[in-house]
Every structure is written in structure tokens, then in C-alpha cells.
Amino acid sequence: MNYMRKYTIFLITLFLALLCGTPCSAIYDFDGIPLEITAQGEIPGRMHTYGVYGLDDPPATLTFDLDGEVQWARTYVGVWGGTPRYTGWTDLTVNEKTLPRIRLYGSDDKSENVYATGYGVYWVAYDTTALLTPGRNTIIADSSRFEPDNKLDGRIYSVVTLAAVPDASGVTTQYWVAEGNQNLHGEGWDTSLHSTTLDECSVTLPVSDIQGVQAASLTVKLLTSTRGEPSYVQFNSHDLGPDVDYPGYPAGVKDIADEISFNAGYYNPIRSRYVDIEVFDVLSLLKKGDNVVTFQRGRDLDGDGIISAAEIPP
């Protein structure tokens, strides 16, 4: 007689969306809206991430296939406003169902699930759990960019969908999803109005148990990224991602927000203008209790008190 031994592989997926809250009303803030956990759960299957990346004219179309029914899903659209004074709108259509139009009000924005910050950077979140189906799914994001008399820039940074899908693989995935729109910036933006700086931000992800965990990945999503300006992501105080070789900089410099997505080793890199999405293996760094993810827009590498861009190396 043959006996099949049942086992469970535990995976940890931690997804963060940061633009360099809770799923309710947001309000514009120049320095941004801090990252907060908006979803947390466990699924007998996997958390899937699909997206199109890189600032471009609307509409932006995302297509992907799902192998089963969705337990939880959320779709995000990044829109560039141009300035916090310009207003407009964004639309989302999921499998031919158009959701209610969302107005973008710039510095006056208080719309539900709209994270607005800086000089008109919008991160819009949608619950798409009931709209996704097994098989082919098509999501189209549009904006008021080509509408007569529109002033909103309206170009779309990216469309990203997270989908938790049960399956029979024997894998159990625990996931944490954090949303926010933290505007990391220096004084050079507008010293007459915004003389403060915001060099880093963090979010804490509580993990109650790591026994049996065989894989752990951290996915981060960044907007308004600029290649050539060293930037960092840390997990429990450890730098993530590969080193870069920039002339004039010391060894060990990182540039996570380099407008090239998936260049941390998991997938084939793709160019993504003003956008980055990265997946990091954090299994060796994961611990029971609080796990802290920190984003840094740069570092003072020579002790002069200034975070330098690539054009002015230390």
C-alpha cells in the first residue's frame, strides 16, 4: 500500500506600494500619506502580481490569465497630474465593466482611495475582487489627458493588479499589503513653499510565526523614480538589491529606483520610465515579530550633509 505524505509549503509575500492609509478616504499632502497595512491574510495558493510599467499616454491596458477563482484582488493606477493645481479624472474598466469615474482634485483631493501628493502624483486603488474571473482578464485605465480644455497631464505611470488565487499546489501563502503615497523629496522642489525635506520612510509588517516558512519575498512599487540618483530599500536594516557602478561613487551604492524594473535577480529586467517594481528574496532576513521596511531617497556618502545626485558625485 502506498501512503501519500501531505505537507504544506509556507510562503510569505509582502507587497508595498510607495510613490517617491487605509482603504477609505484619503487627503492630499505634499509630503505624502504614510504606508499602512490595508490587507493581510492567508490563502491555500499564491498571490499573483500583474502589471504594465512606464509613464505613457492613456489608455493603459493590462491583460493576464488566472487559473482559478479570486479570493482577494486589488488594482492600482498611477497618474501624473503635472502640478497639484490641475484637476481631471481617471477611469478603470475591468472585463468590459466600467467603474464609476474618479475625479482628481489635486491639492484639494479628498476622494475615496485616492492617494495624492507632491506635484500631482496620484495613486488610485480599486477593489477588483468581484470583477476578475478564471481565464483571460483585461483591465484598461484611462484619464482626461486628451479631453478638450483638460489641464491634467494625465499620463499613466502603471497599472498593477494583485490577485490571491487558491490552487491545489500544496502551497499556503501569507500576505501583507501596504498602501501609501510618501513623497520622498529634498528642498530643491520648491524652496519658497516647501522648505522641508523627507529623506526616508518606513512601514512595519508584523509576522506572528516563521516556523515552516520556505520562501519569503518582498515586492515594492515606486513611482517618479529617476535613474542615476542612488536610492535604497532596507529590510530589517539590511540593504536590498544589487550594487551599481556609477562613476565617482564608492563601492556598495544602490539605485533601486533606477527606472529598470525586476533587476533584483528574480526576473528579466525591463525598462520602465519613472517607475520601478522590484521583488526581493527576504527569507534569510525575515524574523518573528516586527519586520521593518525602509525607503531612502539617498544617502550622504561623504559627510557634507547633502544627498548627492549622479551629476554631483561625492
CA angle 86, 92, 98 (to 5 degrees): 125
Q: What is the pLDDT of residue 313?
A: 47
Segment 282-292 shows an average pLDDT of: 95
Does residue 47 contact residue 166 with C-beta atoms inside 8 Å?
no
Q: Exposed, middle or buried: residue 239 (CB in 10 Å: 0-12, 13-18, 19+)?
A: middle
pLDDT at 26 over 70: no
pLDDT at 158 over 80: yes
Task: Tell me how far apart the alpha carbons of residues 15 and 17 are, in angstroms, rounded to a whole number.
Answer: 7
Q: What is the pLDDT of residue 311?
A: 54
Q: What is the pLDDT of residue 173?
A: 93
pLDDT at 19 over 70: no
Q: What is the pLDDT of residue 21?
A: 33
pLDDT at 81 over 60: yes
Q: Which residue has the higher pLDDT, 16 or 88?
A: 88
Q: What is the pLDDT of residue 312?
A: 52
Segment 189-201 shows an average pLDDT of: 66
Segment 279-298 shows an average pLDDT of: 93
Task: Tell me how far apart the alpha carbons of residues 201 and 189 are, in angstroms, rounded to a whole number.
Answer: 18
Please name each of the domains of the chain with its CATH number: 9-314 (2.60.120.230)
pLDDT at 23 over 50: no
Q: Cβ atoms within 10 A of the Cβ of 60, count?
A: 24
pLDDT at 35 over 80: yes
Q: What is the pLDDT of residues 92-134, one digit of tens each?
A: 999 999 999 999 998 888 777 899 888 889 999 999 999 999 9
Q: Cβ atoms within 10 A of the Cβ of 296, count?
A: 20
Q: What is the pLDDT of residues 226-267, one digit of tens each?
A: 887 888 999 999 999 998 887 777 777 888 989 999 987 677
User: Predicted confidence band at 76 (pLDDT cuts at 50, 70, 90)?
Assistant: very high
Q: What is the pLDDT of residue 132?
A: 99
pTM attached to this predicted model: 0.89
User: Predicted confidence band at 4 (pLDDT cuts at 50, 70, 90)?
Assistant: very low
Buried b (16+ CB within 10 A) or exposed e, 119-158: bbbbbbbbebeebbeeeebebbbbbbbeeeeeebbbbbbb
Q: Residues of the chain with pLDDT > 70: what percent?
A: 86
